[in-house]
Structure 1
Amino acid sequence: MAKKTIQRFLPDHNKIKQQKSLKIFGRLLHDANLWHLNRRSARGAFSVGLFFAFIPVPFQMVLAAAFAIPFRVNLPLSVALVWLTNPLTMPPIFYCSYLVGVLALGQETQPFHFEASWEWLSQSLSTIGPAFIVGSLICASIASVIGYFGIDYLWRRSVNRAWSSRRS
């Protein structure tokens, strides 16, 4: 059941292989283990994808792919999970990450007003940057661990239910 549900939302692997940003991986994309969906590859892909979803850097999909390849986890799933942080969800997720960082560093929240300028960006990196980065790393690690064990639990539960329904 879990496998069928996940496969329904995954993009076609041929489309992913043809992405220009993933061409840098070349022949590594032809490893069959990157495209199989089983419990081990799904839980690892959730861990990798959710970790990079909370890291505030450009090219999150490329980073998720770069880590999915050596860990030999499901590549489409890890790349797709990065889109948890999309333009609609990014502001609340990153603001919560900032608050976690403030709490972890024992600082007080800094008031800020967004401006689309290099001056604002360089000033913000020195004031709110450390708390934001620390909070993002903490949230990424927690989401990664929860995703890993959560999918593992749901996968096992799904298999157990399938076996019990076959018995009866």
Structure 2
Amino acid sequence: MRRSRFFKHMPTSQSIQENRYLKPLRRYLHHHYLWQFNRRGVAGGMAVGLFFGILSPIAQILLGAIGSVIFRVNLPVAAFATLVTNPFTVPPLYYAAYRLGKWILGEDSAADDGFDPNAVGAMPELKGDVSSWWHTALEWVQGVGPQLMLGLLVFAIVSALLGYVLVSVIWQLQARYRWKQRVRRIQQSLED
């Protein structure tokens, strides 16, 4: 298999299957679609990675890898696409998801157009004993949780669909361009 310069440092199927820590998962990691860079695998990997990268606040790469095994799409692309959420993108993404969730649930009013740091702000700090922190954290999650999760679900689905379509379109355009270049080279060689 020919590997591009960008992907030459990625682990291969063989190196992952020979890893002693991944030995129990070896039977799930053997499918060739997990490692081939074709249109279906890459576009599907992008969709799976974007979906779990946006939807899950923790274990995104693990969930992306599991999703790629289930849907038999490119695993490295799925793992890489989960990195769409990072410390720079999470705050605006979560705030926009919270606002979208409030709008979908019909809780968004014209009077509430400002940012409320108490409603969406950072999770409560640990002050006092742990039991009071858990109680405060649970209240915080109950206050913003439904709106935030609904907004994240919508963003995850839309971004996964857009990612799949965008990669497929770019892949096809690139294939057409290469084909035209090949035809042009053949025509030039025949003319000479």
Contact 2:54 2:156 (C-alpha < 8 Å) held by counterparts: yes
Using the TM superposition, name which of 55-64 and 141-150 deviates more. 55-64
**Deviations along 1:57-102, whole A, 9 cap, x unmatched?**
3211111111101211000100111011012221111111111111
What secondary structure, in the 3-state scheme, does the structure 1 residue paired with 2:159 have?
helix
Contact 2:35 2:76 (C-alpha < 8 Å) held by counterparts: yes
TM-score by length of 2: 0.75
Aligned residue for 2:60?
Answer: 60
| Residue 158 of structure 1, aligned match among 174, 177, 182 | 174
| Residue 147 of structure 2, aligned match among 128, 131, 135 | 131
TM-score by length of 1: 0.85
2: CA distance, partners of 1:19 / 1:89: 35
RMSD: 2.5
How far is 1:13 from its partner? 2.1
1: CA distance, partners of 2:39 / 2:53: 21
| Residue 10 of structure 2, aligned match among 12, 15, 24 | 12
1: CA distance, partners of 2:8 / 2:31: 18
Choose 1 or 2 for highest CA Rg: 2
Using the TM superposition, name which of 117-126 and 154-163 deviates more. 117-126
Residues 24 and 124 of structure 1, relative CA distance in 2, 3 Å threshold: farther
Unaligned runs of 5+ in 1: none
**Percent identical:** 29
Residues 125 and 141 of structure 1, relative CA distance in 2, 3 Å threshold: same
2: CA distance, partners of 1:129 / 1:44: 29
Structure whose residues are more often helix by fraction: 1
How far is 1:10 from its partner? 7.4
Residues 34 and 139 of structure 1, relative CA distance in 2, 3 Å threshold: same
What secondary structure, in the 3-state scheme, does the structure 2 residue paired with 1:30 have?
coil
Aligned residue for 2:91?
Answer: 91
Residues 52 and 152 of structure 1, relative CA distance in 2, 3 Å threshold: same
Aligned residue for 1:27?
Answer: 27
2: CA distance, partners of 1:89 / 1:19: 35
Using the TM superposition, name which of 81-90 and 101-110 deviates more. 101-110
Aligned length: 163
Unaligned runs of 5+ in 2: 127-133, 185-192
**Deviations along 1:36-61, whole A, 9 cap, x unmatched?**
11001011001100001111332111
Aligned residue for 2:48?
Answer: 48
2: CA distance, partners of 1:11 / 1:70: 25
